[in-house]
Structure 1
């Protein structure tokens, strides 16, 4: 299964986003909008989906992306990918899309 080289992942409660560009990830929260956290990851894919594993220093990271419809729970948008983000020992869930073809507003 091929996944886009670039992805935008978002999550709510707490709010966060991850911009994926190849094997580089930029992690942002409302508090870090001016200085996103840059993380390096190794990409792999299998029948379960796309997996990005890595981090910098003590920041362990795993972003799993699956091809399945996803709702962010706050809007009526439907996203083509669901994600699970493990960062610094905490797991959050969210949705993702290819920035080249974002989901239309509902």
Structure 2
């Protein structure tokens, strides 16, 4: 409900371009014969080499960004990226500029961290702590930028102490530092853990990327 209300407010308050498709976004393959495939190419055009394919019933394809003419879509494929024709993709409904992105997984390296998100539940995994479960309780859109958002929440209490989390995301190209993959959302995460003295000297600040699909889907 919070997300729905925020989305309506952002759409009504913004200019006409707010109704344009947002990227990254989730798409399904359409218009491909049952005995055919949708080719993945090395670049945005039919003259580029075929490097793979998508089945005719493929769903939840995360389009990172379109080309300049919005004819070809960049997607992640294996350990890199590829391009598919947007003539054979249909977007999931409700993905328009200014809406809170429906992220499912954020992650980073050095140190490694991973945050999975299945509304409203979150799970944080990091090398120095046991996996922590919690809830996202708030969503906030920037008053001056349509591509900036903040998520706030907390983890369930444990013997290690309560932890608050603030996730700041922006829609821009991001790399994971471990492959040639690209993602359409960059993230900064602030995790606050109060110490015995009552301050937040246990706070950690981390950076990484986010995806609209869970880890198991990639």
For normalisation by structure 2, the TM-score amounts to: 0.41
- Quickly say closer, same or farther: Cα 1:6–1:69, change in 2 above 3 A: closer
| Runs of 4+ off more than 6 Å | none
Give the structure 1 partner of residue 134 of structure 2: 39
Deviation of the 1:72 alpha carbon: 1.2
Asked which structure has the greater RCO (Cα within 8 Å, sep 6+), the reply is 1
Q: Is the 8 A contact 1:12 1:94 kept in 2?
A: yes
Q: Which whole-Å deviations, capped at 9, do the CAs of 1:9-52 have from their partners, x for residues lacking one?
A: 011011111112223211112566xx631122212222252211
SS at match of 1:61: strand
Are 2:17 and 1:17 aligned? no
- Secondary structure class of the residue paired with 1:14: coil
The aligned residue for residue 77 of structure 1 is 181
| Structure showing the higher helix proportion among its residues | 2
TM-score, structure 1 as length reference: 0.79
Cα RMSD of the aligned pairs, angstroms, is 2.4
Q: Could you say what secondary structure the match of 2:179 adopts?
A: coil
* Unaligned segments of structure 2, at least 5 residues: 1-97, 193-202
More strand by share: 1
Distance 1:85 1:11 in 2: 10
2:207 corresponds in structure 1 to 93
149, 155, 178: which one aligns with 1:50: 149
Structure label with greater radius of gyration:
2
Q: How big is each residue's C-alpha offset from its partner over 1:41-67, in whole Å with a ceiling of 9 and x where there is no partner?
A: 212222252211121352021011110
Aligned residues: 100
Whole-angstrom distance in 1 between the partners of 2:166 and 2:110: 19
Equivalent position SS for 1:73: coil
